């Protein structure tokens, strides 16, 4: 587990570090609201949110870092927080993404576990600094020996610094 935490810390530092002469030029900050549904529970739906930062590394790719909660309503839904870093591959306005990190699930057998997610997104620039996006994602989180999946639909906005 210590090696995993070190690896995630290294990925976060990589995502936040300047790329050569490029500093945080074109870095974007934003967030989204999400509607989530867990596959093991029939009918349980919840509402969550995330905050994110992205940094372009190529004309068609970005590094991204996210922190969020998959659900706020206590309705039997297994709610957890997460922190992940990942990358996108873009063919504007569409993109695909994959993220890796840790989840924090106080109701699980182990509070800290691994977290992965992947999905597709659609983004539109509305001004030279603001961008709206929507994502369809599925994540996989770990709590001890239990793995669970949550699907989500997200809608949010990003502001370019």
pLDDT score of 20 more than 90: no
pLDDT score of 19 more than 70: no
Domains and CATH numbers, the chain: 2-16+26-160 (2.40.160.20)
Tell me how many helices (H) and strands (E) the chain has.
1, 8
**Of the candidate ranges 14-18, 65-69, 82-86, 139-143, the one whose mean pLDDT is the lowest:** 14-18
**pTM of the predicted protein model:** 0.81
> Do 33 and 48 form a contact (C-beta atoms < 8 A)?
yes
DSSP string, 110-148: SSEEEEEEEEEEEEEESSSSEEEEEEEEEEEEEETTEEE
DSSP H or E run through 83: strand 81-91
For the segment 44-90, what is each residue's pLDDT rounded down to a tens digit?
Answer: 789 999 999 999 998 899 999 999 999 898 887 888 999 999 999 99
């Amino acid at each position: 587990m210590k090696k995993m935490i070190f690896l995630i810390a290294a990925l976060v530092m990589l995502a936040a570090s300047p790329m050569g002469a490029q500093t945080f030029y074109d870095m974007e900050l934003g967030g989204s609201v999400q509607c989530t549904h867990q596959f093991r529970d029939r009918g349980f739906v919840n509402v969550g949110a995330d905050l994110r930062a992205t940094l372009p590394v190529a004309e068609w790719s970005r590094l991204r870092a996210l922190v969020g909660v998959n659900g706020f309503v206590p309705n039997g839904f297994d709610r957890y927080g997460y922190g992940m870093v990942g990358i996108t591959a873009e063919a504007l306005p569409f993109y695909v993404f994959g993220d890796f990190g840790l989840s924090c699930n106080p109701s699980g057998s182990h509070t800290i576990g691994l977290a992965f997610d992947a999905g597709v997104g659609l983004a539109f620039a509305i001004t030279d600094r603001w961008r709206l996006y929507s994502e369809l994602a599925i994540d996989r989180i770990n709590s001890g020996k239990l793995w669970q999946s949550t699907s989500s639909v997200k809608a949010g906005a990003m502001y370019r610094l």
